[in-house]
Amino acid sequence: LSSGQPESDKNQVRVVFFANVNHAVPIVGLENGEFAKELGSTAIKTRVVDSGPEVIEALFTKSADLGYLGPAPFVIGYVKSKTDDIKILSGAASGGASFVIQKDSTISTAADLDGKKIAAPFVGNTQDVSLRHYLAEHNLKPRESGGTVTVYNIANPEIYTIFAKGDIDAAWVPEPTATMLVEQLGGKRLFQEEDTWPDGKFSSVLLVGRTEFLEKHPDVVAKWVAANTNTVNWIKENPDKTESIFIDFYKKYTGKKLDENIIHDAFSHIQITSEPIQNSISIFAERAYGLGYLGHSGYNLDHIYYDVNNGTVGGTSWQN
């Protein structure tokens, strides 16, 4: 099983991330050469995927070494691996998800969601956990569990399509999809996800690594984390350039030209930060467990952090 992929050798690092605004750090850092500069002779191989589970699959099957993904899929993957196979290295973004309803919708409170059709990307995705937890909090159940709410777990571009067709009543989505639904399809942003969090802050993108790789190549990892932090700072200082880099990248990747205003607006809903916001990760884990995503016999998050300074794995908290 999972043979046939070459083990990453010393001179390369394979990284996966999404083509979302939340993933501005890897996108901008790769496009402006920050990562390449820091890593020197180590080659960088990248792959763009659509969902957290794909990042986990890539790491588990050793076809990637580092990845950017939301805290929920990370926690699910971590618990499933049972042997601390993946670790958090750093944060990359916070916030940046919204609950959007159709323009003429009468939804105003959670109770109104009874019998509605709501989309969120992929089961176990960060927005999916938030949505289902939100429903459960308000005593609503999805149809597959015998409830009344239809939850569609599909990719962001498709959420856009079916939102446009009016097939769904609402969507819990990350940026830039949320802003696109609002600006282009006339959707209403009912609330931002951070409004539902203590301190109005929650981690939305993490930089994680495969433990085996971290142990073998601490030097490469240290350089990557440094570049990650540098890029966070660069983005904070250069918001305009960040936006145009993102638009160029998106055009290159999908062939679609994004509206500048939308991207500008989308970025305004996100905080780019290298802090992983640890308490939000614990809360995500609790919520995911409540949804049955982490099995049914308890879970343990004692060793989820990697200590870059010491090059040791197995920290109980993040220190950078």
Partner 1 sequence: MKPSVLAKKIAFFVGIVLVWQALDSANVWPDKIFPSPLEVGESLWYGASNGTLFYGIGTSLWRLAIGLSIAIAGGITLGVFMARVETVNQTIGSIVLGLQSIPSVAWSPLAIVWFGLTDAGVIFVTVAGAIFSVTINTYTGVKNINPDYIAAAQNMGAKGGQLITKVLVPAAFPYMISGFKQGWAFAWRGVIGAELLFSFLGLGFLLNVGRQLSDVSQVIAMMLVIMIIGIVIDGLIFKRLEDKVMSRWGLR
- Site residues for partner 1, window 21-80 (CB under 8 A)? 49-51, 53-54, 56-58, 60-63, 76-77, 80
Nearer to partner 1 by C-beta: 254 or 317?
254
Q: Supply the minimum distance, in Å, between the C-beta of residue 265 and partner 1.
A: 23
Which burial class, exposed, middle or buried, applies to 226 when counting CB atoms under 10 A from its CB (0-12, 13-18, 19+)?
A: middle
What 3 state SS string does the chain have?
CCCCCCCCCCCEEEEEEECCHHHHHHHHHHHCCHHHHHHCCCEEEEEEECCHHHHHHHHHCCCCCEEEECHHHHHHHHHHHCCCCEEEEEEEEEECEEEEECCCCCCCCHHHHCCCEEEECCCCCHHHHHHHHHHHHCCCCEHHHCCCEEEEECCHHHHHHHHHHCCCCEEEEECCHHHHHHHHHCCEEEEEHHHHCHHHCCEEEEEEEEHHHHHHCHHHHHHHHHHHHHHHHHHHHCHHHHHHHHHHHHHHHHCCCCCHHHHHHHHCCEECCCCCCHHHHHHHHHHHHHCCECECCCCCCCCCEEECCCCEEEECCCCC
Q: Which stretch binds partner 1 (CB under 8 A): 131-139, 148-156, 214-222, 230-238?
A: 148-156
Count of residues near partner 1 by CB under 8 A:
50
Alpha-carbon span 27 to 33, nearest angstrom: 10
Q: Supply the minimum distance, in Å, between the C-beta of residue 217 and partner 1.
A: 20
250 binds partner 1 (CB under 8 A): no
**Binder of partner 1 out of 152, 183, 222, 259 (CB under 8 A):** 152
Site mask, partner 1, residues 158-197, x = CB under 8 A?
Answer: x--xx--x-x------------------------------
Q: Which stretch binds partner 1 (CB under 8 A): 22-30, 116-124, 178-186, 217-225?
A: 116-124
**Binder of partner 1 out of 32, 81, 105, 192 (CB under 8 A):** 81
Nearer to partner 1 by C-beta: 110 or 123?
123
109 binds partner 1 (CB under 8 A): no
Residue with token string 């790491």: 59
Nearer to partner 1 by C-beta: 200 or 292?
292
6 binds partner 1 (CB under 8 A): no
Q: Which stretch binds partner 1 (CB under 8 A): 105-113, 146-154, 190-198, 245-253?
A: 146-154
Q: Supply the minimum distance, in Å, between the C-beta of residue 97 and partner 1.
A: 18
Q: Which residues bind partner 1 (CB under 8 A)?
A: 1-5, 49-51, 53-54, 56-58, 60-63, 76-77, 80-83, 85, 122-125, 143-146, 150, 152-155, 157-158, 161-162, 165, 167, 254-256, 292-293, 295-296
